[in-house]
Structure 1
Amino acid sequence: MNALTGMGVSPGVGFGPAYVFSRDIPVPDPDARHDGDAAAERARATRALEQVAADLEERGARAGGQAQEILKAQALMARDPGLAVGVAGLVDAGVTAARAVYEGFGKYREIIVGAGGYLGERAADLDDVRDRVVAVLEGLPAPGLPARAAQPYVLVARDLAPADTAALSRDVVAAFVTEHGGPTSHTAILARAMGVPAVVACGGAASIAAGTPVLVDGFSGLVRLAPSDDEVVTATKASAARQSVLAAVTGPGATSDGHAVPLLANIGGPRDVDGALRYGAEGIGLYRTEFLFLDRASAPAEEEQTAAYLEVLNAFPGGRVTVRTLDAGADKPLAFLPPWGREPNPALGQRGLRLYEKHPEIMNAQLRALARASLQSTAKLQVMAPMVATQEEAARYVAACRDAGLPSAGVMIEIPSAALRASDLAAEVDFISIGTNDLAQYTFAADREVGTLTALHDPWQPALLDLVLMAVSGALEQGKPCGVCGEAAGDPVLACVLVGIGVTSLSMAPPALPAVRAALSLHSREQCLLAAQAALATTTPQEARGAARAHLPGLAGLAL
């Protein structure tokens, strides 16, 4: 075996020795009992849980952006009151703190795995928190990766928890390779944000021997083991040449015949702004605001929110900044809100806009803070609601925005019902933005984190393209702009197809911007239209991509 193939989810080429990551925390002895001092053992468990929660928060604060949001959610797992009660009960029955924590997390794991869907995909994150707490109690090193290395290594694993990668950088990691995961998994999202090549859903990756030289192509998904010097030099030169060509294309996004396509960045907070500017973003197409709300005993004050929004608005004077209002629920619970009972499938429960409508005081405060920030900046602020399903929901959201003094309000298309009736929704709003990640998840009933379902999350799936066409057509019917802010926008080939379909702007992880800008600059709007028509006429993702490329000859020069 000298090569493996997976899904390339973060472009570029990386080479280095394999660092094979595995979790080695032993399962605590089920028969072990503490010395009889239950109060002391309970205190030990409490301290360990809080230590891990604080460590996760600290890692998130250092990493910033999307990683901070994800790690805050993990910290909430360690601080869950129900977990603490369960652990205390087990300790009172004589079980050691380590075993009590292990069993306590195990019960939660059964619940969320049984729930499936969006919540079920958090099982790996839960296991990571559990292992970290057990390690503290047993006096063992926590699962982790070297923050420094003699040379950048290729990180290989079955899967990676967010805490594993949050503190890493391109100086330490040459590339990621995982057996599990998909294009919208945490590993993929964080790799793109870091600008590190990554291949996921790579069968057999975990069997790579530690120290094996590995060449990773995040474009093609090819992983070569022990490549020759010539292979490494050829791949590295090709990647460098590609980057040089991409860097030479600057300025606003547009097709070769001058059709403007604003290229925007997806960010998870103010710390991501530097990367957006560095890669030439014309504005922000998706500003996720969850980082302000997670892991708090009370909702953030309007003043704090206003400052966070203003920091990003001021980075793009005169430019567009689109803020997604709070998308909580499911795997992102808010500690300061009362629970509303167990949901069989939280991904299909009270989340996104539905949570807002259940707690209007949270939405109204956020909208007021956004309006205050807008008055202090020259940026063009837009706000949009997540997880909108019906015209009535869209109308209520827009009314709330108008009452707060916000002039531009839109909705995200992430649910098939919204795509099917996009014209009705567009009649109520100022713009539409398609979130292809969740739209694929709900369209194909396929968990975003399950590696075996990766094929269903291929953004070239014809059914997904059909829904994008429906959404765009509905928006245009009402004379409203329709952008894409899902990861699909960062595929330079698919970006041309989306423009051909009629998408009016594209927003993506900042490192993807140069390739998309270059691909658009080499093709006319008519070529993009022909590529879109060809892709929509196919029945498989592979056929769709091939058919589109046949109408986009400039891609060959970019080696994309």
Structure 2
Amino acid sequence: MPERLQGAGVSPGIGAGPVRTVAGAVPEPDAGARHGGDAAAEKASALAALEAVAADLEARGAQAGELGNTSGMEVLGAQAMMARDPGLADGVSAKVDEGVAAARAVYEAFGVYREMLASAGEYLAARVSDLDDIRDRAVARLLGLPMPGIPESDEPFVLVARDLAPADTALLDPAKVVAFVTEQGGPTSHTAILARTMGVPAVVALPGATALADGTRVLVDGGAGTVQVDPDEAEVAAARGAATARASLLTEAAGPGATKDGHQVPLLANIGGPRDIEGALANGAEGVGLYRTEFLFLDRSEPPTDAEQEAAYRTVLEAFPEGRVVVRTLDAGADKPLAFLPPPGDEPNPALGERGLRMARSYPDVLRAQLAALARAAAGTTAKLEVMAPMVTDADEAASFAAECRTAGIEHPGVMIEVPAAALRAADLAAEVEFFSIGTNDLTQYACAADRQIGGLAAFQDPWRPAVLDLVAMTAGPAAEAGKSCGVCGEAAGDAVLACVLVGLGVTSLSMSAPSLPLVRAALARHTLAECRQAAAAARAARTAKDAKEFARVLLPYLSDLGL
């Protein structure tokens, strides 16, 4: 095995320790397994196992919430919803009626959903691993097998797995798990997002990761995406020394985001609700650049009340009395199905179907209720409320959404730029709204026709691709000409090197997971706007994502100060 393995770094930091691998997968139940004839009892066993799994996931979610891991709590809540899906229960029951034993009935019922998700693209393929985890937990209960999960260890270790289930990732103890490495996943998978939220170094999409033998000592660099096998003590000490020096430099970069020559670039936080406020403030967020309001609606059979919505929105607005709070309206559909908002019909590819604003147009009362709650929440507060719609395609949609906002009393409507068509015609949209926010995760996957959750396609899901940078520039330029702001709220904003390039492309604000804020602030503070523009031009002139990053780095000379 080579000394240094290369994957995709998704959560910066250094971790060194012995490898511990996740417990082996639950075996597939016998395809010919039949029950003894008592279908009612068999159904009861199967459904009880699914409910037990759902309850366990909810309990883990609550524990994650108590530990301050809001993202983990939300992900586990969504998994519990999957386990309790009525359609899944019907599928299990139908299999049992055919004589199939409970464990095999569960396995086959999940298989139907798995095929649908695996072919759906976008967010949904990431849910395949979530679905497999729920299936394996239910099957393990029915067969009396050990539950899959995190291994025990008396010493800090590096966790290695084919993939990590949210149920496990959400409860990782950073004092024990110093880093983790997976063969699958991508930069926008649940594993990656939770790792960044927790501040645990992580590398994903690393071929052959599970071939590392238990006990092998490795050095993980979550920024560079490397795993060094059997490092000597000097190498570990050097890596940790560099990390400590970088941490010291980060503490020196304080205050509002700005380039070295004073060009202001507000640095904002992506949040899922009030529980994320503390982390955002602790890392110096100047406001909120993406409030994912759909997390208020998940795991519910009916929408939150007007009072519940208003209270949640007001809490966030009051936390940033002098800043901006950019709220994304309900982004339902695709991987975020809501029980009270069923899709209008069967969708072969939900990621390209009725989601975001498209779903809202089918349920206008839900959107209007949300906008009204936001307007009431903002009354009497001093934060600047900006409200944006997801999955907007053209100027007519932008104009319609802006009209709905203004009818509700919201003065600053905007749209997310995630669909390439919207980027290509940004000038048309800029005439209708007050601001843009570029969602680089979706923009990249749609531009490259590559599912963002499939590890084998990670090379395509790279915002450094010159074509994606072109789309960013094509959005920021018309926004500036129209006197409108243009932020980035996708994961690309949290890449400290790419953040400098985005500013050079004309992006006016950056929003990211809270732990990424200090490093981005420090990188900007070391470079002038002219240097950022030169780096952006060089990156766009490249032919590959790899070259784009290398060309940009040459023109950003002080990155090495930060270990970049």
Alignment-derived partner of residue 495 in structure 1: 499
1:472 aligns with 2:473: no
Alignment partner for residue 103 of structure 2, among 91, 98, 104? 98
- SS class of match (2:220): strand
Q: Are 2:125 and 2:454, in contact at CA under 8 Å, matched by a contact in 1?
A: no
Aligned equivalents of 2:457, 2:371: Cα separation in 1: 37
SS in 1 for 2:369: helix
What 5-or-longer segments of structure 1 have no aligned partner?
none
Give the TM-score, by structure 1 length: 0.97
Q: Secondary structure at the match of 1:512?
A: helix
Correspondent of 1:260 among 264, 269, 283: 264
Match of residue 384 from structure 1: 388
1:169/1:194 contact within 8 Å kept: no
**Corresponding residue for 1:128?**
133
Q: Following superposition of structure 1 onto structure 2, how do residues 297-376 of structure 1 map, counting pairs within 5 Å? A: 297-376=301-380
Q: Residue 515 of structure 2: SS of its match in structure 1?
A: helix
Identity level (%): 64
Tell me the secondary structure at the aligned position of residue 122 of structure 1: helix
CA contact (8 A) 1:310 1:376 kept: no
Whether 1:462 and 2:463 are equivalent positions in the alignment is no
Could you tell me which residue of structure 2 aligns to residue 481 of structure 1?
A: 485
Is 1:408 paired with 2:409? Answer: no
Aligned residues: CA RMSD: 1.5
Task: Give the Cα–Cα distance (whole angstroms) in 1 for the partners of residues 26 and 36 of structure 2.
Answer: 23
Give the superposition deviation at 1:59. Answer: 2.2
How is 1:261-280 mapped onto 2 (pairs within 5 angstroms)? 261-280=265-284
Shift of 1:281: 0.8
**Matched residue, 1:61:** 62
Q: CA deviation at 1:37?
A: 2.2
Greater displacement, 79-88 / 20-29: 20-29
- State the 1:94 CA deviation: 2.4
Q: Pick closer, same or farther for the CA change 1:240–1:374 going to 2, 3 Å.
A: same
Kept in 2: contact 1:68–1:291 (CA 8 A): no
Selected match of 1:540 from 523, 535, 544: 544
Instruction: Answer yes or no: is the 8 Å Cα contact 1:69–1:290 preserved in 2.
Output: no
- The answer on 1:171 being equivalent to 2:172 is no
State the partner residue of 1:43: 44
Give, in whole Å, the separation in 2 of the partners of 1:188 and 1:412.
22
Aligned residue among 230, 241, 247 for 1:243: 247
Q: 5+ residue gaps in structure 2?
A: none
Displacement of 1:401? 0.9
Provide the C-alpha distance between the structure 2 equivalents of 1:276 and 1:149, rounded to a whole number of angstroms.
32
- Judge which range, 256-265 or 162-171, deviates more: 162-171
The aligned counterpart of 2:150 is 145
Which deviates more from structure 2 when the two are superposed, residues 137-146 or residues 262-271? 137-146
In 1, are the aligned partners of 2:117 and 2:125 still within 8 Å (CA)?
yes
What is the distance in 2 between the residues matched to 1:151 and 1:552? 39
Contact 2:419 2:446 in 1 (8 A): yes
Cα distance, 1:151 vs. partner? Answer: 2.8
Count of equivalent residues: 559
Q: Is the 8 A contact 1:118 1:346 kept in 2?
A: no
Secondary structure of 1:355's aligned partner: helix
The list of structure 1 runs, each at least 4 consecutive aligned residues, that deviate by more than 4 angstroms after superposition, is none
Give a deviation string over 1:72-94, Cα, whole Å, max 9, x none: 32222212222111211222232
Residues of 2 paired with 1:330 and 1:376: CA distance? 36
Q: Secondary structure at the match of 1:529?
A: helix
Q: Distance in 2 between matches of 1:69 and 1:376?
A: 30
Alpha-carbon distance in 2 for matches of 1:374, 1:174? 41
For residues 168 and 372 of structure 1, the distance between their equivalents in structure 2, rounded to whole angstroms, comes to: 39
Contact kept, 8 Å, 2:126 with 2:190, in 1: the verdict is: no
Q: Which moved more, 1:328-337 or 1:36-45?
A: 36-45
Q: Given residue 93 of structure 1, which amino acid in structure 2 is its aligned partner?
A: E
Name the residue aligned to 2:221. 217
* Secondary structure, counterpart of 2:228 in structure 1: strand
SS at match of 1:482: strand
Q: Is the 8 A contact 2:333 2:343 kept in 1?
A: no
Matches of 1:490 and 1:91, distance apart in 2: 48
Structure-1 separation of matches of 2:381 and 2:140: 48
CA distance in 2, matches of 1:295, 1:159: 24
Kindly indicate whether residue 20 of structure 2 is the aligned counterpart of residue 10 of structure 1. Answer: no
Partner of 2:279, secondary structure, is helix
Is 2:550 aligned against 1:552?
no
Q: Which residue of 2 aligns with 1:30?
A: 31
1:219–1:343 distance in 2 versus 1, CA, 3 Å: same
**What amino acid sits opposite 2:47 in the alignment?**
T
Pick one of 153, 162, 171 that aligns with 2:166: 162
Relative to 1, partners in 2 of residues 1:45 and 1:215: Cα closer, same or farther, differing over 3 Å? Answer: same
Q: Secondary structure at the match of 2:196?
A: helix
User: Within 1, Cα distance between the matches of 2:493 and 2:412?
Assistant: 22
Alignment counterpart, residue 74 of structure 1, candidates 66, 75, 79: 79
Residue of structure 2 aligned with 1:112, choices 114, 117, 137? 117
